[in-house]
């Protein structure tokens, strides 16, 4: 193999982290992204590259070396293509962005747990859990970067990590009518999130795409699994998401059919 390859699922937030990092380095198109259809059985040749693990994205180097985990792949690209640098150069500033990055997994777990919930009685508790994560991030930013827009002077490492997750939370706005309250304890993280969402290096997906592709998550079925009574995943490549109608917003009532979702 004569080129770097990333095997990924389209609209995957962990893959978008890599796309953002490469865009910031001016390397969009320099790495080949091989599309994997999550709705179909995994290719045995691909499975053989990561025995015992099906998580994507994975990176295969020119010499056949295989790496996985999005943060590991980001660091590989940062080391392999050191200029322009995305991670902070100053050791303390780099440590600060690593501390902030460490907060992302709990935010992700709270957001995905919220959208996949099927019990209306749990909605308020799940909303509060997510808001607690946002409040913690706000407190961090208020301590280490009170007056900036981004964590440091420019959109950088931490923003590349968080922005894809902020974009996936468009599914919470749509299916749970979620929004950050207009309160002081969310003001700093609200400013940061808005700037992240608007940054030109992070425009690989759209709100419409997220809402349509992630409909099955709102019905409690993730990673290509099918909700009861359905035969086609909302992650299916065809019909293309742009040709489908917007899904129903009500997630606790009757499930939409394949036909109502424009999947057949």
Across the chain, what does the average pLDDT equal?
Answer: 96
Q: Which domains does the chain have, with CATH numbers?
A: 5-80 (3.40.30.10), 91-198 (1.20.1050.10), 207-261 (3.40.30.10)
Using only C-alpha atoms, the chain has a radius of gyration, in whole angstroms, of: 19
With cut-offs at 50, 70 and 90, classify the pLDDT of residue 28. very high
Residue 178: partners with Cβ closer than 8 Å, 6 or more residues away: 114, 127, 130, 169, 172
Of the chain, the percentage scoring pLDDT greater than 90 comes to: 95
Looking at residue 2, its pLDDT comes to 67
Length of the chain: 264
pTM of the model: 0.97
**pLDDT single digits (tens) 137-155:** 999 999 999 999 999 999 9
Report d(CA 97, CA 95) in Å as an integer. Answer: 5
What's the pLDDT score for residue 16? 98
In order, the DSSP letters of 206-235 are -HHHHHHHTHHHHTT--TTPPPTT-SS-TT
Judge contact between 48 and 198, C-beta under 8 A. no
d(CA 122, CA 65): 44
Two structure tokens written together for 255 = 């499930």
Burial class (CB in 10 A: 0-12, 13-18, 19+), 57: buried
The Cβ of residue 229 has, within 10 Å, a number of other Cβ atoms equal to 11
What's the confidence (pLDDT) of residue 54?
87
pLDDT at 1: 53
Neighbours of 201 (CB within 10 A): 19
Token pair in block for residue 199:
């940054």
Mean pLDDT within 70-86: 98
Q: Is the pLDDT of residue 217 over 90?
A: yes
Mean pLDDT, range 11-36, rounded to an integer: 97
Residue 127 predicted with pLDDT over 80: yes
When pLDDT is averaged across residues 191-207 and rounded to a whole number, the result is 98
Q: What is the pLDDT of residue 52?
A: 78
Q: What's the distance, CA 101 to chain centroid?
A: 13
Render the burial of 135-165: b for 16+ CB within 10 Å, e for the rest: bebbebbeebbeeebbbbeebbbbbbbbbbb
Q: pLDDT band for position 117 (50/70/90)?
A: very high
* Among 14, 150, 26, 12, residue whose Cα is nearest residue 81: 26
Structure tokens at 184: 């002081």
Q: What percent of the chain is predicted at pLDDT more than 70?
A: 99
């Amino acid at each position: 193999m004569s080129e770097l390859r990333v095997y990924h699922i389209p609209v995957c937030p962990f893959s978008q982290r890599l796309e953002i990092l490469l865009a910031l380095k001016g390397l969009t198109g320099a790495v080949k992204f091989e599309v994997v259809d999550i709705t179909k059985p995994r290719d045995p040749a691909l499975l053989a590259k990561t025995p015992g693990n099906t998580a994507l994205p994975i990176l295969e180097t020119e010499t056949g070396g295989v790496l996985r985990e999005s943060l590991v792949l980001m660091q590989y690209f940062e080391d392999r293509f050191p200029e322009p640098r995305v991670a902070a150069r100053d050791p303390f500033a780099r440590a600060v962005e690593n501390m902030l990055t460490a907060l992302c997994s709990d935010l992700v777990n709270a957001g995905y747990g919220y959208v996949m919930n099927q019990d209306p009685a749990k909605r308020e508790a799940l909303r509060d859990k997510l808001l607690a994560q946002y409040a913690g991030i706000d407190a961090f930013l208020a301590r280490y970067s009170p007056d900036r827009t981004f964590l440091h002077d420019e959109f950088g490492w931490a923003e590349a990590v968080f922005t894809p997750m902020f974009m996936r939370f468009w599914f919470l706005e749509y299916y749970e009518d979620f929004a950050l309250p207009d309160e002081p304890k969310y003001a700093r993280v609200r400013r940061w999130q808005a700037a992240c969402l608007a940054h030109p290096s992070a425009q690989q997906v759209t709100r419409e795409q997220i809402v349509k592709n992630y409909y099955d998550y709102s019905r409690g079925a993730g990673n290509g699994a099918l909700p009861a009574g359905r035969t086609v995943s909302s992650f299916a490549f065809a019909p293309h998401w742009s040709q489908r109608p917007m899904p129903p917003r009500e997630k606790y009532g009757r499930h939409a059919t394949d036909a109502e979702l424009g999947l057949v």
